[in-house]
Amino acid sequence: MTLSKAEEPTLVGPSTDVVETDKKEEEYQDRFLEGSQRIIAYDLLEARGKANETTDPDVKRYSEAKELFRKGYDLCMSVPRTLDDDVLLKHEQDVKTAAETLVAAWMLDDKAAPMSERVLILGQQYEKVLLKDVPEDKREGFFVKESLLFSAWILLVGKQYQHCLSTLSLAIDTYKDLPVRIYFLRASCYFSLGKLRLGIKDMVECLRQDENFYVAYSVLGSVYMSLKERDNAIRNFKLYVTNGHPDTADYINACYSLSILLNQKKKAEARDFYNKAKEAEARFKSLYGTNTGMSETKREAVQLHEKPEDAHRMILEAMPAKHYNAKIEQLIKAGILQSAYPPNPKQCSNCGAANRKDKADGPLLCCGACKSIWYCSRDCQVADYKKAHKVACKKMVEAAQ
C-alpha cells in the first residue's frame, strides 16, 4: 500500500530541530550481545540483488524471520525500559506482542534473531506482565509456552547449554504444538555439550516429524563422520545431496565429505562428488560473491583430488575469515548491506550507513515524528517506515504526549 503524505513522518534535517549526532548522548542506544549480531550470508545475498536467483527455501525463511524480528523489535523499542508496575500495566499488550513476535522469529530462524540488551529487558518485562495476576503462592514454576521459549533463547545465546536443554525439554514435554525446529535447537545443545548420541536422536526426530527437514541429513552426516561411522555418514550425506538444495553451503560440504569417505574404495564416485562440490562452489560464489570457507573437510578433499602444487595454491588463496568479515563490514558502512539495526544516532536504522548519503560529513537525519530513530536519507526513512517503523513511531509519539 502506498503511503499518503499525511501518513509519512517528517524527516528532520540539521537545519531545523534535529540535534547533531554527538549531542544525542541522552538517547538510548541498544547494544547487541557479543557474537549475537552476526553477519549472515543471506544478507549479503540480498545486498547483491541475488535473492531472486535461488529457490533455496532457507533464504525465504530467513527473510521472513528477519522481518518478523524487526517488527517485534520496533514494538519492543516503543515500550519504556522499566519494570515499574504502572508503566507495564499501560504497555502490557505491547510487551506481550513484542515478546511473542520475537520468539516466533527466533523459532523460525535463530540466525535472524540477534540478542540485545533491550531484548533481555523485554524478557524481564514479559515475565512480570505474565505473573501480574498470578497469586504469590502459585508463581513458583508458573510459565507459558512463549516464556519458556524466550528463556531458552536467552540461555542458548549465553551458551548455558545445560540449562537451555532443561528448558527446551520442559517445553517439548508440556506443549505438543511446537514446530519441529525445537528438536533441532535442543540437538545443538546436546552437540555443544558433547552428547552426540542424544543429539542424533533429536535430529532423527526432526525427520520423523517432517520428512522435508533435509538439513538434519547434513548435520547427521557430519556427526557420524566425526564418530568415524563411515557407512552412516555416507548414507546421510547422500540423502542430503539427493534432497537438499544445491545452492547451500551444506550441499557443498556434503559433496566434499563424500569425496573423502568414498575415496578409499570407490575412487571414481569420490571424484564425481568432488567435481559436484566444485560446481556447486562456483554457483555459490556467483550468488554470494565468495566461496565457502576453507574447512578441514574441504582442505582434505582438495589435497586428495588435486595435484600437490594445485592443492597448495588453492589453500593459500582461500580468503581468511577475518578478511571476509572486514569486507562485509565495509558493505555495512557503505549502506549496501541490509540488516536490522537498533536506533542509533550514529547508524542508519534501515541500511546501517554511518554517514548521510547527500552530505558525507553531516549528522544523520532524525525522524521528525518520534525523534527516536535515524536515517542516512529520505529513501531509507520511507522504506523503513513501510517495513516496520510505522507502528513503533505512532506508539512512541503517543507515549511522549
pLDDT score at 330: 53
| Distance (Å) of CA 163 to CA 32, 96, 159, 186, 291 | 22, 24, 9, 11, 36
| Mean pLDDT, the chain, whole residue set | 83
Query: At residue 16, what is the residue type?
Result: T
Local confidence band at 2 (pLDDT 50, 70, 90 cut-offs):
very low
Domain ranges of the chain: 1-29+321-401, 214-305
Query: At residue 30, what is the residue type?
Result: D
Query: Is residue 297's pLDDT more than 80?
Result: yes
Query: Is residue 215's pLDDT more than 80?
Result: yes
pLDDT score at 5: 36
Are the C-beta atoms of 244 and 250 separated by less than 8 Å? yes
Reduce the DSSP state of residue 74 to 3 states and report it: helix
Nearest to 170 by CA among 207, 145, 192: 145
Percent of the chain surpassing pLDDT 90: 56
Nearest to 181 by CA among 155, 215, 157: 215
**Helical H runs in 176-295?**
181-192, 196-209, 215-226, 230-243, 249-261, 267-288
The 10s digit of each residue's pLDDT in 246-255 is 999 999 999 9
> What element of type H or E holds 116?
none
Local confidence band at 126 (pLDDT 50, 70, 90 cut-offs):
very high
* C-alpha–C-alpha distance, residues 124 and 141, integer Å: 16
Please report how many Cα atoms fall inside a 13 Å half-sphere around the Cα of residue 20, on the Cβ side.
5
pLDDT score at 12: 40
Local confidence band at 401 (pLDDT 50, 70, 90 cut-offs):
low
* C-alpha–C-alpha distance, residues 357 and 347, integer Å: 12
Higher pLDDT, 115 or 347: 115
The 10s digit of each residue's pLDDT in 301-359 is 999 998 888 888 887 777 554 444 554 455 545 544 444 466 677 778 877 777 888 87
Query: Is residue 214's pLDDT more than 60?
Result: yes
* C-alpha–C-alpha distance, residues 41 and 337, integer Å: 10
Tell me the β-bridge partners of 375.
365
Local confidence band at 23 (pLDDT 50, 70, 90 cut-offs):
very low
pLDDT score at 10: 40
Measured in whole angstroms, how far is the alpha carbon of residue 368 from the centre of its chain? Answer: 30
Average pLDDT over residues 63-90: 94
Residue with cell 566425526: 226
What grid cell was written down for 178?
511446537
The 10s digit of each residue's pLDDT in 33-59 is 765 555 678 888 888 888 899 999 999
pLDDT score at 229: 97
The whole model's pTM is what? 0.75
- The CATH T-level fold of domain 214-305 is 1.25.40
